[in-house]
Amino acid sequence: MVRFWSLFVDAMTLGSVYAFIALGFHLIFRAGRMIDFAQGNKAVLGGLFALTLVEGHVAPVAALFVVGAFGLVVGLVYDKVVIAPTQRNGTIAVVSATVGASLVIAN
């Protein structure tokens, strides 16, 4: 029975992460009428940063606030460097830029 509850909690946690990423895709598409292919990579970047902080013996609550601030800074820089310069060139330019940013973040 313990194994069932362990698997249940793991599944609910993973499903919640997928739901939040899908919500991010939906909000970005509704707000800007563009598809951001780097959205998942930015989520993984934040998760890895949180893992690094927690493994470095930072309190999880403090890590939550630090990762939130980190995500804000990453988002603002991403908007200024990737999105804003390409928006005047059309949708295809923005989509191409987000694919390129996804490759840069992944590597």
- At 50 the pLDDT is 94
Q: Using one digit for the tens of pLDDT, what is the confidence trace for 48-83?
A: 999 999 999 999 999 999 999 999 999 999 999 998
- Give the model's pLDDT for residue 31: 80
Taking the C-alpha atoms of residue 21 and residue 24, their distance in angstroms, rounded to an integer, is 5
Mean of the per-residue pLDDT values of the chain: 90
Residues of the chain with pLDDT > 70, as a percent, come to: 100
**Which of the 8 DSSP states describes residue 38?**
T
pLDDT (mean) for 80-92? 88
d(CA 16, CA 22): 10
Return phi, psi of residue 69, to 5°: -65, -40
Residue that has been written with the tokens 């992460």 in this structure: 17
Q: Are 38 and 16 in contact (CB under 8 A)?
A: no
Distance CA(26)–CA(23), nearest Å, equals 5
Mean pLDDT of 79-104: 89
Report d(CA 37, CA 15) in Å as an integer. 20
